[in-house]
Amino acid sequence: MLVESISDLMVFTRAVKEGSLSAAGRELGISLAVASKRLQRLEEQLGVRLLNRSTRQLSLTNEGTEYYHYCVRILAELEEGEEMVTRGNKEPKGNLKVTVPAAFGRLHIAPLVPEFLKRYPAIRLTLHLTDTLVDIIDQGYDLAVRIGELKDSSLVAKSIGRDRRVVVATPSYLASYGSPRSPLDLSTHNALLFASTDHWSFTGPNGEDVSVKVSGNLDTNNCDALREAIYADLGLALRPMWDVWQDLHSGKLIRLLPDYTPPAYPINAVYPSRRLMPKKTRIFIDHLLKRFGPIPYWDDLAGQAPSDITLPIQP
């Protein structure tokens, strides 16, 4: 049985994404009454209840959960079909929902948003900064930025950089406790840990693998908290270059063990595996690639950030 109108599917999927029928109505430019009527018509035609509705929240029924995945795929295919026949003939528009890691997003994605929205004013961007791994298909995201090896083979990945790591400390800390000459010396220092990572691995100057267990009096999953501890001369830390590159430029932090290289991880823009990428998604990825370049500015210690980017200054 076919539904009477694609708009009924849009109301249903938008209500799930936004968490309420009233929000779905606002997104689609219709009243709450019309949105409720369309959802009711869809449920009556299917002969099942899709959503449990209360005055405070909506929740999917078992049947609704299963049907929601079909609806998302159907609407995505329709959007791709429209994109295929109109590509190049219209300004990109519509909702673009992007999720990015919190600290990386704050430092390197958020500063690029104003220029992007000025250039494409018909796009409505939802930028979600979180370190929680989001299921972009189930939660209706168009794009995610992910750091590390991808585990979901159903997603398409576009490389936008590398997450290189360095061991850093303040000059004051090093003046008090000395500089490690090899990774093994790290065991005698106060190591400030991120997310309980207490084994640090390196590749040595002759290609040898070195791993050392470190310990310290701080373990946190928050980049800002760890940065404050480093600035307070509490210890040394293993940090991404994208997080500390400005401080290395200024001399506020010192890179340690330059002959020993920690593992690097991919930074990818990932999106659902579709036959065609929507234009709004493609231009956002292109915007990131243009600003980051073949060698991202945070990896080029001899260079500077592009002059057209206003980057936040570290405290």
pLDDT for 303 equals 40
pLDDT for residue 3 is more than 60 = no
What CA–CA distance (Å, rounded) separates 7 from 62?
22
Outline where 154-294 has alpha helix (H).
171-177, 223-231, 241-250, 279-292
Write down the CATH number for the domain with range 165-256: 3.40.190.290
pLDDT for 122 equals 92
Token couple for 18: 């936004």
Domain map (residue ranges) of the chain = 6-86, 94-162+265-299, 165-256
pLDDT for 4 equals 58
Instruction: Compute the average pLDDT of residues 10-36.
Output: 86
> Cα torsion at 98, 101, 106, 112 (round to 10°)?
-40
Q: Is 165-256 in the same CATH topology as 6-86?
A: no
pLDDT tens digit string along 86-107? 555 567 888 899 999 999 999 9
pLDDT for 82 equals 67
Class of domain 6-86: mainly alpha
Low-confidence winner among 13-22, 272-281, 306-315 (lowest mean pLDDT): 306-315
pLDDT tens digit string along 6-16? 888 888 988 88
What phi and psi values does residue 19 have, to the nearest 5 degrees?
90, 0
Residue 309's pLDDT band (cuts 50, 70, 90): very low
Beta strands 155-163; 265-272: pairing state:
antiparallel
Name the amino acid, one letter, at 119.
Answer: R
pLDDT for 208 equals 94
pLDDT tens digit string along 189-200? 999 999 999 999
What phi and psi values does residue 217 have, to the nearest 5 degrees?
-100, 15
pLDDT tens digit string along 258-281? 999 999 999 999 988 655 577 889
Instruction: Compute the average pLDDT of residues 42-68.
Output: 85
pLDDT for residue 64 is more than 50 = yes
Write down the CATH number for the domain with range 94-162+265-299: 3.40.190.10
Q: Are 228 and 103 a contacting pair, CB within 8 Å?
A: no
Between residues 269 and 69, the one the model is more confident about: 269
Element (H, E) at 22: helix 21-28
Between residues 71 and 202, the one the model is more confident about: 202
pLDDT for 165 equals 95
**Bridge partners, 272 (sequence order):** 155
Instruction: Compute the average pLDDT of residues 193-215.
Output: 95
Give the residue from 238, 98, 236 showing the smallest Cα distance to 160: 98
Low-confidence winner among 24-33, 87-96, 280-289, 303-312 (lowest mean pLDDT): 303-312
**Bridge partners, 129 (sequence order):** 100
